[in-house]
Amino acid sequence: MTIASALENLNNAILDLQLADHNTYERPVKKVAAALHAPELKAANKRLRDNVDFEDFIKNSNRGGSMVGSSQLKWPLETEHELGLILQIIEKAGNDPSWLLSFTHQWFYDGNKIIAGVRKFTKSILIPFARDYKTFITNISATGESEGKISETLSVPDRLEQNKIPILYISKQVLQLIEEFRERVRGDNKLSPDDRDAALEALETLHELTCEANKMSEIPPEDLIENEDVQSWPWRFKSAIEENLQTVIDPMNLANAAVPTGLILGFGALGALIAGPAGFGAGSLLGHLITGQLKPGTAAKEIEKGWVDDN
């Protein structure tokens, strides 16, 4: 699904909700939430959601007195904050459509018919939201944050959940390539004992991180957020690079062991799937360093530049 198709689905679902009654409103409510749950919108939604606190928003709003319909929400002036709050309302409604009935009956009261509150909410909040949300996404793209760029802000748990199958597949391939290259290094008589040990140690570090990535891809989504090993993987990946830059590896000698391009690409792809674009750059640079295609000094500068620019 593209961002354009997700936005079209959002508009269509809101149109369906406008025409719904008490017996049919649940389906379009869930469709509105589903449209916003598209992977292409996940990072943008996280940016909106992280800027606001829904509970504080409700707490600081005017619940009114004893008069029915006197409750009034205190919306923020900032458009992104408003979008973030509406997004959370939509997500709550998607999980429990009946919650929306109670919420709109209190805050969007429009007569005794309970569905009237949903219709008022749709007209006064959801329709403007669809317009402003599209503008928000368009502005991100206009400033250079394309669909791929938007995804850079995904957290590690988000990336693991979104890229579970590719991570599982690529990590297995990388483990196989590491083992094959280990055998090449062990059997290369042109390598000095020190160079061989340094190369094998570097490969062992990557082997451990790759095994960890493989296992992380199988962790249930609800357990990813609080898992410290998951959260720290990108930084341990970075640390592994920095440590291996300090090993004594002779590029000319290692070049004789063979140049497994698949290993370089595998490191890069695995880093990108879990740590984002900087992960690809760091992973592929480490692969080049281990296989002797890049001098340590050059690699150090490139890796440092990539991580500084990305963070």
DSSP symbols for the chain: --HHHHHHHHHHHHHHHHT--TTTSHHHHHHHHHHHT-GGGHHHHHHHHHT--HHHHHHTSB---SSTT--B----SSHHHHHHHHHHHHHHHHH-HHHHHHHHHHHS--SSSHHHHHHHHIIIIIHHHHHHHHHHHHHHHHTT--HHHHGGG--HHHHHHHTHHHHHHHHHHHHHHHHHHHHHHHT-TTS-HHHHHHHHHHHHHHHHHHHHHHHHTTS-HHHHTT-HHHHHHHHHHHHHHHHHHTS---HHHHHTT---HHHHHHHHHHHHHHH-HHHHHHHHHHHHHHTTSS-HHHHHHHHHHHHHHH-
| Boundary (domain end) residue, out of 91, 118, 153 | 153
Same-domain check for residues 142 and 265:
no
The pLDDT score that the predictor gives to residue 18 is: 94
**Same domain? 162 vs 304:** yes
List C-alpha distances in Å: 166 to 45, 75, 214, 235.
23, 41, 10, 21
Return per-residue pLDDT of the chain as tens, 311 residues.
678 888 999 999 999 999 999 999 999 999 999 999 987 788 889 889 988 999 999 999 987 766 666 689 999 999 999 999 999 999 999 999 999 999 999 999 988 888 999 999 999 999 999 999 999 988 876 554 544 445 455 667 777 877 888 888 889 988 998 898 888 888 878 778 887 888 788 888 888 989 998 998 888 877 777 788 887 887 787 677 656 544 433 444 444 444 466 676 777 777 777 876 555 444 544 554 444 444 444 443 443 344 334 44
What's the pLDDT score for residue 29? 97
In this structure, are 74 and 179 located in the same domain?
no
Instruction: Please check whether residues 139 and 194 belong to one and the same domain.
Output: no
Q: In this structure, what token pair is assigned to residue 140?
A: 């991100």
Torsion of CA 43, 46, 48, 50, to 10 degrees: -150
Same domain, 143 and 240: no
**pLDDT at position 9, please?**
93
User: Number of structural domains, the chain?
Assistant: 2
Beta bridge pairs of residue 62 = 72
* Nearest-angstrom CA–CA distance, 311 and 300: 17
pLDDT at 308: 38
Longest dimension (CA), the chain: 89
Euclidean distance between the first and the last CA atom of the chain, given in angstroms as a whole number:
28
pLDDT at 256: 45
Asked whether residue 67 falls in the same domain as residue 173, the answer is no
266 in the same domain as 232? yes
Over its C-alpha atoms, the chain yields an Rg (Å, rounded) of 26
What pLDDT does residue 255 have?
Answer: 42
Q: What is the pLDDT of residue 233?
A: 83
State how far the Cα of 286 lies from the Cα of 284, in Å rounded to an integer. 5
> Within 10 A of 84 (CB to CB), how many other CB atoms are there?
22
The H or E element spanning position 242 is helix 228-245
Q: CB within 8 A of 15, min separation 6: which ones? A: none
Residue 30 and residue 121 in one domain: yes
Q: Write down the pLDDT at residue 160.
A: 82
Q: Are residues 300 and 161 in the same domain?
A: yes
What pLDDT does residue 200 have?
85
65 lies in the same domain as 206: no
Same domain, 36 and 141: yes
What is the C-alpha to C-alpha distance for residues 205 and 201, in angstroms, rounded to an integer? 6
> Of the candidates 153, 182, 215, which is a domain's last residue?
153
Domain closes at, from 116, 136, 153: 153
d(CA 41, CA 37): 7
**Nearest CA-CA partner of 7 in 144, 149, 132, 146:** 132
Structural domain of 236:
156-310
- The answer to whether the predicted template modeling score (pTM) of the entire model surpasses 0.75 is no
**Model pLDDT, residue 58:** 94
Residues 194 and 246 in one domain: yes
